[in-house]
């Protein structure tokens, strides 16, 4: 599930179609496509970095928000921040596809880390949903099982598992040039020829696709069971403690369900397109240009998925909004205080701080 730009050359080698699809200035797209895409990416970059950083800051500063759920969300926010570190390189690639000037190491590194962070997000969402299932359906057992210490250990394990799972990506992508051409002019960061010829590329596509659809199936099942439990609680015999638990869990479940839906909607087109083009004929000329634009849209959705969570938290969580307002107000008050301190008192000749 490496970032979609890494797959821009996946569905047929770009250099094989140079004569059929001439591209000026070694760019895959025209200026009327590149300019709006770049503007959107810059907006997503600013929104993603600031929003996810604020999420981590909010959960760290406010003790009442240091819950096990927010520990997972903080870790996901960190993963999303790292995802945006690859955006400048992706923008460079869609503007100047070749030669690739960053070298083989960075090519492999960006693809590997992108794959890692995406796996990490899926694992976090799935694990968090399992925790919410236990908390709603087995509340007494969940109090014993779900502790902050265990959650910290689980988060570390999820990161390590994601790092290990993405290792095959290092053998799929690299910098190559077309046979018989000048390396200085035609170096490209793309899937390596041997991975396509040996079938390794298709195997990795299958693995990463299963990595996406299997958790999505589990999530659908878990949230179905949670909704069933909440429905039975509402329409059955309820104790006061049960009613209180329902009021506590319901907003959290709603927010997590929306986060899951946003993730699925952002990633589903990419996986459907990749399956379609990988299995209906890699290298077919009529599919080539369509695949490039599909992957461009997938790239935008990829970065949208990494930037949208803080927006959803802000819309759906009153506590999150209040905490963000407090941080912004504190920041503005601190700036105003610093400005006041820097201005000398014209009548007494003393600093403002001396009179406080």
Residue 336 forms part of a structural domain: no
Provide the CATH number for the domain around residue 260: 1.20.1070.10
Q: Using one digit for the tens of pLDDT, what is the confidence trace for 253-269?
A: 777 888 888 888 888 88
Q: Using one digit for the tens of pLDDT, what is the confidence trace for 192-205?
A: 777 777 777 777 77
Residue 78 forms part of a structural domain: yes
Containing structural domain, residue 178:
4-329
DSSP 3-state of 102: coil
Residue 68 forms part of a structural domain: yes
Give the least confident one: 130-134, 146-150, 256-260.
Answer: 256-260
d(CA 110, CA 163): 13
Q: What is the pLDDT of residue 138?
A: 85
Q: Is the pLDDT of residue 16 over 50?
A: no
Residue 337 forms part of a structural domain: no
Residue 356 forms part of a structural domain: no
Verdict on whether the full-model pTM lies above 0.85: no
Q: What is the pLDDT of residue 201?
A: 74
Consecutive H or E run containing 174: strand 173-176
Residue 291 forms part of a structural domain: yes
Structure confidence at residue 120 as a pLDDT band (50, 70, 90): very high
Q: What is the pLDDT of residue 24?
A: 45
Q: Is the pLDDT of residue 33 over 60?
A: yes
Q: Which has the closest alpha carbon to 116: 56, 158, 174?
A: 158
How many Cβ atoms sit within 10 Å of the Cβ of residue 142? Answer: 16
Q: Which has the closest alpha carbon to 4: 294, 344, 322, 312?
A: 294
Residue 340 forms part of a structural domain: no
Domain count, the chain: 1
Q: Using one digit for the tens of pLDDT, what is the confidence trace for 274-313?
A: 666 655 554 455 566 666 777 788 889 989 989 998 888 8
Structure confidence at residue 353 as a pLDDT band (50, 70, 90): very low
Q: What is the pLDDT of residue 15?
A: 39
Q: What is the pLDDT of residue 10?
A: 43
């Amino acid at each position: 599930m490496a970032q979609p730009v890494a797959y821009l050359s996946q569905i047929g080698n770009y250099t094989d179609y140079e004569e059929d699809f001439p591209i000026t200035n070694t760019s895959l797209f025209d200026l009327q496509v590149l300019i709006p895409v770049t503007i959107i990416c810059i907006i997503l970059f600013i929104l993603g970095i600031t929003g996810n950083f604020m999420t981590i800051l909010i959960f760290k500063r406010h003790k009442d928000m240091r819950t096990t759920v927010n520990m997972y969300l903080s870790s996901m926010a960190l993963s999303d921040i790292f995802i945006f570190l690859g955006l400048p390189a992706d923008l460079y690639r869609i503007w100047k596809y070749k030669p690739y000037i960053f070298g083989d190491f960075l090519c492999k590194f960006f693809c590997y880390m992108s794959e890692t962070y995406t796996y990490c997000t899926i694992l976090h969402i799935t694990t968090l949903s399992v925790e919410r299932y236990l908390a709603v359906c087995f509340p007494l057992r969940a109090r014993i099982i779900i502790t902050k210490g265990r959650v910290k250990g689980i988060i570390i394990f999820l990161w390590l598992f994601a790092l290990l799972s993405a290792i095959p990506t290092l053998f799929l992508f690299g910098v190559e040039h077309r046979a018989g051409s000048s390396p200085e002019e035609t170096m490209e960061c793309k899937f390596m020829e041997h991975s396509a010829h040996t079938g390794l590329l298709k195997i990795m596509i299958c693995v990463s696709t299963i990595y996406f659809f299997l958790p999505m199936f589990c999530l659908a099942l878990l949230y179905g069971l949670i909704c069933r439990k909440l429905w039975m609680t509402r329409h059955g015999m309820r104790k006061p403690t049960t009613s209180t638990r329902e009021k506590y869990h319901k907003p959290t479940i709603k927010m997590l369900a929306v986060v899951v839906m946003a993730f699925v909607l952002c990633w589903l087109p990419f996986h459907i397109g990749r399956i379609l083009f990988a299995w209906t004929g890699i290298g077919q000329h009529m599919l080539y240009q369509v695949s490039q634009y599909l992957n461009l849209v997938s790239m935008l959705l990829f970065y949208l998925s990494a930037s949208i969570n803080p927006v959803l938290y802000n819309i759906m969580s009153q506590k999150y909004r209040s905490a963000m307002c407090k941080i912004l107000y504190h920041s503005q008050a601190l700036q105003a205080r610093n400005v006041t301190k820097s201005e000398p008192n014209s009548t007494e000749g003393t600093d403002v701080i001396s009179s406080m």
